[in-house]
Amino acid sequence: MDAILRDVPERIETERLILASPRVGDGELVCEAALESLEELRPWMPWVAPPPTRESSEESVRRAVAAFIERRDLRYHLWSKEDGRFVGGTGLHRIDWDVPRFEIGYWIRSSLARRGLVTEAVRALAQAAFEQLGAARVEIRCDTRNERSGRVAERAGFEMEACLRSEARAPDGALRDTLIFARVRRD
């Protein structure tokens, strides 16, 4: 089956969040949240160097809308149910529909961090991947030094499988070791 024919959820609801597929026009709020969070994002996320602008964020959103429609990459924006604020981003990336396998990524605006919102989103997204998309495997990959990210993976029930040494370059150009966490369907 061509990936574009796959049915995927456009909206996932949790206790405190709505995970929604990206929409044209989201760029301004994404940009504002990223600019407030540069200190926390810079060591791990290459897309904040140089810092995003409203235009570059909207361009990225529109590319994400197109990729979502084609089922090449499924980005979700997190919105607070309490006040409608843009909270951060997550998504199912590096998709292999033949397995099917996905990799979950995430970031949160600094002013809403440390409340368990990311773990809540990751749990719901993994559940949707297994129950609605038929996932056999869902991965989370992170720099070994990114302890906050590793704790999200563990809280969401992912098991550490491997450490790949010198697997990638960190945003500062240094070689990084990468931890692979995974959940599989037979779990």
- Sole binder of ligand COA in the list 77, 149, 182, 183 (CB under 6 A): 149
117 binding ligand COA? (CB under 6 A): yes
Residue 151 lies near ligand COA (rule: CB under 6 A): yes
* Interaction of residue 51 with ligand COA, rule CB under 6 A: no
40 touches ligand COA (CB under 6 A) = yes
Does position 108 interact with ligand COA (CB under 6 A)? The reply is yes
**114 lies in the site for ligand COA, by CB under 6 A:** yes
Burial (CB < 10 A; 0-12, 13-18, 19+), residue 107, is buried
Residue 21 within binding range of ligand COA, rule CB under 6 A: no
Q: How many residues bind ligand COA (CB under 6 A)?
A: 20
Strand duo 86-96 + 74-80: pairing? antiparallel
| Separation of alpha carbons 99 and 167, rounded Å | 23
Q: Which CB atom, from 111 or from 134, has the smaller least distance to ligand COA?
A: 111
Contacting residue, 129, 133, 152, 180, with ligand COA by CB under 6 A: 152
Per-position x/- string for 88-107, each x denoting binding to ligand COA as judged by CB under 6 A, each - no binding: ------------------xx
Judged by CB under 6 A, the chain residues 57 through 86 that form the site for ligand COA are: none
Residues that bind ligand COA (CB under 6 A): 40-41, 44-45, 106-108, 113-119, 142, 146, 148-149, 151-152
